[in-house]
Copies of this chain bind each other. A is one copy, B any other.
Amino acid sequence: MTNFVPTPSVPAPDIVRCAYLELVVTDLAKSRAFYVDLLGLHVTEEDEDTIYLRSLEEFIHHNLVLRKGPVAAAAAFAYRVKSPAEVDAAEAYYRELGCRVERRKEGFTKGIGDSVRVEDPLGFPYEFFYEVEHVERLTQRYDLYSAGELVRLDHFNQVTPDVPRGRAYLEDLGFRVSEDIKDSDGVTYAAWMHRKQTVHDTALTGGNGPRLHHLAFATHEKHNIIQICDKMGALRVSDRIERGPGRHGVSNAFYLYILDPDDHRIEIYTQDYYTGDPDNPTITWDVHDNQRRDWWGNPVVPSWYTEASLVLDLDGNPQPVTVREEKSEMAVTVGADGFSYTRRNDDDGGRGGAVEGFKLGAQL
């Protein structure tokens, strides 16, 4: 029985968008090679312990902070709110929820002003801020435009054991659900939730949590993503490509998942759709629809379901991970009785089960 997060009596802060993630990495030089040399993110500022990175079209100080630390983890999921007053609103909101809250007028990272950080009811370190240092927006700096250029931060993805509980909490916080994955027993496996007018600012993936599933950057076109794969091949790090490239069923975006030197997962993502209308239709996918995760039916590797990054509390210690009690998406989408399908009643002969088999079974 889901133990829902109570709805506060005070208004939720008015969130604009996901704005940056703070990651703890264990070897800053290796991480720099990955995010700057390989992926081409732009360095706003850096010192011995920290690198502040942004995507091409960003005008705020950073979308990603890499901070050197002993244990690889996500230290903050930061959202921008609509005005300075909304930082107050965020503080009041989480105080009423009984969460641990820390307010810093000078910000928690360089380039950001008055901010509040909380340990939210799902165990994630959330940050809310408005004040920020504007930096050069590189949109038309085509002299800096690499073949695999990352142009925007797109979204976070969080692993949490109880998706309906997390979803209700985020809906209270003003997020709207664009898509989800369910089964006929009413189990929810994942949900995509947005503030800005895309498919998501964050998503909840059912699993042992709280953990960071991934952070996603957007490119302009599909070939930019293919170039990232090609470059990883050229650098002989193709084993750091975890999954894809492919077309998502959910979100319709073209995607790629790669792993940084600490196994933090990065998605490269392009071309989802507009969700800004108040009655934007929510799409529910059947967990047994073999095209939900990959529109082309390509298999999801197990690590994608099982691996994720720890998250930190406000003291910088890893949050304990709670095991998901409900069915796992990985478990229900494979096995003798639980085969996924492309066509529900496939009776046209052909390779029949064998065909389904190769989409689902052992791969070389």
Residues A301 and B358 in contact, CB atoms below 8 Å apart: yes
Q: Are B362 and A362 neighbours in the complex by a CB distance under 8 Å?
A: yes
Q: Is the CB of A239 within 8 A of B145?
A: no
Interface of chain A residues 141 through 181 with chain B (CB within 8 A): 141-147, 149, 151-152
CB-CB under 8 A from A223, the residues of chain B are 221-223
A 29-67 to B, binary, CB cutoff 8 A, 1 in contact else 0: 000000000000000000000000000010110000000
CA distance A221 to B237 in the complex (A): 25
Taking A227-B145, A303-B358 as contacts, is the C-beta distance between A342 and B281 under 8 angstroms? no
Chain B residue numbers with a CB within 8 Å of A346 are 239
| Closest beta carbon of chain B to A175's beta carbon, Å | 15
Q: Does A108 contact B (CB under 8 A)?
A: no
Most buried by B among A241, A252, A277: A277
- Interface residue? A2 (CB, 8 A): no
A83 lies within 8 A of chain B by Cβ: yes
Interface size grouping (class) on chain A: 35 or more
Let me know if A143 and B234 touch, CB within 8 A: yes
CA of A238 to CA of B248, assembled, Å? 13
In the complex, what residues of B have CB within 8 A of residue A279's CB?
A: 134
* Residue of A16, A149, A151, A233 contacting most chain B CB atoms (<10 Å): A233
A residues 94-148 in Cβ contact with B at 8 Å: 134, 137, 139-147
A296 touches which of B149, B241, B298 (Cβ 8 Å): B241
Contact B139 A233 (CB under 8 A): no
State whether B238 touches A16 (Cβ < 8 A): no
Collect the chain B residues with CB atoms within 8 Å of residue A354's CB.
303
B364 touches A152 (CB 8 A): no
A302 to B80, alpha carbons, bound, how many Å?
44
| Option from B145, B152, B291, B297 in Cβ contact (under 8 Å) with A231 | B145
Since A59-B280, A232-B296 are in contact, a sample of 11 more A-B pairs with Cβ atoms closer than 8 Å, ordered by chain A residue number, is A57-B274, A140-B252, A143-B231, A221-B223, A223-B223, A229-B247, A239-B355, A241-B296, A241-B298, A302-B358, A330-B364
A-B contact pairs, 29 of them (CB 8 A): A16-B276, A16-B277, A16-B278, A17-B276, A82-B278, A134-B279, A140-B295, A142-B227, A142-B233, A144-B234, A196-B274, A221-B271, A222-B222, A229-B295, A229-B296, A230-B295, A236-B291, A238-B291, A238-B296, A239-B342, A239-B346, A239-B356, A242-B358, A261-B350, A263-B351, A300-B363, A333-B364, A334-B364, A363-B363
